[in-house]
Amino acid sequence: MEMIGHGGKEIIERVLAKDAALKRVEELKAAKVKTLDVRLQLATEILDIAYGFFSPLEGFMTKADVESVINNMTLADGKTVWSIPIVYDISSADLEKSGIKQYDEVLLTYTGNPFAIFDITDIFTLDTKEVAMKVYGTTEDKHPGVKRTYQYQDKFLGGKITLLNPPKINEPFTKFWLTPKQMRERFKEKGWEMIINHQTRNVPHTGHEWLMKGAYLGAYGSMMVDKPRGGILVNAMIGSKRPGDYIDEAIILCQEAQGKHGYFRDDIFLTTCTLWDMRYAGPKEAIFHACLRTNLGCTHHMFGRDHAGVGTYYDPYDAHRIFERLPKGSLNITPIFNLDWWFCPVCDEVTYMGLCGHKDKKASFSGTLIRSIIQDGVKPPRRIFRPEVFDMIMECAEKYGFGDAFVTEDYLKNRQPVFTIGPLK
């Protein structure tokens, strides 16, 4: 099966089989190589690199890559589109203490267990203010992506990653985490020629549902309807959370509920997740999402209003316009741009900004409004919010959210991790 990912290259998979991994760990230990224990943020991106979510990246970026990404929106090769730096940071003190030098092979551990090999080819510094300005368009640390950038330690390590120890994905995420290769196999089984990606970090209301339905109808075009030749991939971003976000478990299970309860036919709908800490980089993140979903095997990607934005940092349609600036053929996925869907009391239906002529009567689906209703424990009308999705939110709040469907300090402290790395044996 064809496994060509972003940049026109074969999907990267840098994962050692168990026997080889056991042998390598013994060798590394015998050679007394240096070790570094990584935090969750880095462990997440190591998995993304190793399984090809970030293809054609084979490791953490070198300085040449980061500079090209922030200045030209390409990797250091000058042609592969890339918009967000993927970096491994370390403090000068820790670097000195470890004794790590350029061209060292380092054993990375996570929660104390062997995790990956890091072939360090570059040790460098970055001007984080410059990175912030060029990626996020602002240097304000109120912006969560900028804040993350400023929190990086002062040194960076670049080089290839090889995974030694596959993750155990914990419930309820187990069946939703598919590697890019596994996703492509799933699409093939389903007979899909067209795969539309819906990016989400939300529990769905019918505005989202109609966004997907509209994209499906629009993109299906003149393909034969004898059997479903296309489907919708809901790919939820599961990663670092802020208080007030929906809890991860509710996001993934409520998305799935739309298919389970027939709002989408089972054979045209699939829910999966990608481990990614949202950067809220608006247009730059939209480009990143396009690259990522190309790797998953998607043919189309939906971009709504204020895609991956935060606050008022981006114009609602910046994330659409940025695609016009890309050289033709540099992305292997077709963007589908959406305006808003709203409820119109005159049309008496959920309708599209580009169709309904009762703009002054519209009732918008603002996330804040829906959240306000859910926080009151009030079940909205089914035209606005599917009752099965509402019931699932309430179930998740009890089961996973310590009584709350939204992230609390309690949840951040006590939730079960999405993945764990066990002993290698």
Partner 1 sequence: MAEETYPINIWINEERLEKLQAAGLASMTKEVLAGLKVIAVPNTADQRDKILKIFPVAKYDAATTRSIENMPRQIKDKIFDLIVKNKSLNVMDEFIKSVEK
Residues that bind Zn ion (CB under 5 A): 344, 346-347, 356, 358
Choose the contact partner of 57 out of Zn ion, partner 1, none; CB within 5 to 8 A by kind.
none
User: Which of partner 1, Zn ion, none interacts with 356 (beta carbon under 5 to 8 A by kind)?
Assistant: Zn ion
Query: Which helix (DSSP H) or strand (DSSP E) does residue 419 occupy?
Result: strand 419-420
Tokens 């054979």 map to which residue?
Answer: 267
Residue placing its CB nearer to partner 1 in the complex, 158 or 309 = 309
Query: In the bound complex, what is the minimum distance in angstroms from residue 305's beta carbon to partner 1?
Result: 12
C-beta closer to partner 1: residue 324 or 376: 376
Closer CB to partner 1, residue 261 or residue 371? Answer: 371
For residues 201 and 210, what is the distance between their CA atoms, to the nearest angstrom?
17
Q: How many whole angstroms separate alpha carbon 38 and alpha carbon 113?
A: 10
Helix (H, G, I), strand (E, B) or coil at 352: strand
Contact partners, residue 210, CB within 8 Å, separation at least 6: 341, 350, 351, 352
Q: Which of 135, 132, 108 is nearest to 40 (CA)?
A: 108
Contact 204, 248 (CB under 8 A): no
Q: Which is nearer to Zn ion, 227 or 359 (CB)?
A: 359
66 in helix, strand or coil? helix
Rounded to an integer, what distance in angstroms lies between the CA atom of residue 164 and that of residue 110? Answer: 11
Choice between 263 and 352, CB closer to Zn ion? 352
Q: How far is the CB of 142 from Zn ion (least distance, A)?
A: 37
The smaller minimum CB distance to partner 1, of residues 97 and 383, is found at: 383
Query: Residue 19 contacts by C-beta under 8 Å, 6 or more apart in sequence?
Result: none
Length of the chain (residues)? 425
- Tell the smallest beta-carbon distance from residue 358 to Zn ion (Å): 4
Q: How far is the CB of 321 from partner 1 (least distance, A)?
A: 22
378 binds, among Zn ion, partner 1, none (CB under 5 to 8 A by kind): partner 1
Which among Zn ion, partner 1, none contacts residue 358 (Cβ within 5 to 8 A by kind)?
Zn ion
Q: How far is the CB of 332 from Zn ion (least distance, A)?
A: 37
C-beta of 343: minimal distance to partner 1 in Å? 5
Q: Which is nearer to Zn ion, 339 or 347 (CB)?
A: 347
Q: How far is the CB of 363 from Zn ion (least distance, A)?
A: 10
Q: Comparing C-alpha atoms, which of 281, 186, 253, 187 is closest to residue 401? A: 253
Name residues whose C-beta falls within 8 Å of residue 257's C-beta, 6 or more positions apart in sequence: 386, 388, 389, 392
| Minimum gap (Å) between residue 419 Cβ and partner 1 | 30
* Residue 174 interacts with which of partner 1, Zn ion, none, CB < 5 to 8 Å by class: none
Note every long-range contact of 75-80, with CB atoms under 8 Å and residues 24 or more positions apart, other chains counting. Answer: 75/7, 79/7, 79/330, 80/6, 80/7, 80/56
C-beta atoms surrounding 162 within 10 Å: 21
Nearer to partner 1, 262 or 311 (CB): 311
Instruction: Determine the Cα–Cα distance for residues 44 and 323; give it in Å rounded to an integer.
Output: 27
If contact means CB under 5 to 8 A according to the sort of partner, which of Zn ion, partner 1, none does residue 218 touch? none
- Looking up tokens 């598919």 gives 178
Would you tell me which residues interact with partner 1 (CB under 8 A)? 244, 312, 343, 345, 363-366, 368-369, 371-373, 375-381, 383-384
Nearest Cα to 132, choosing from 112, 149, 144, 118? 149
Nearer to partner 1, 69 or 405 (CB): 405
- Smallest distance from partner 1 to CB 236, Å: 23
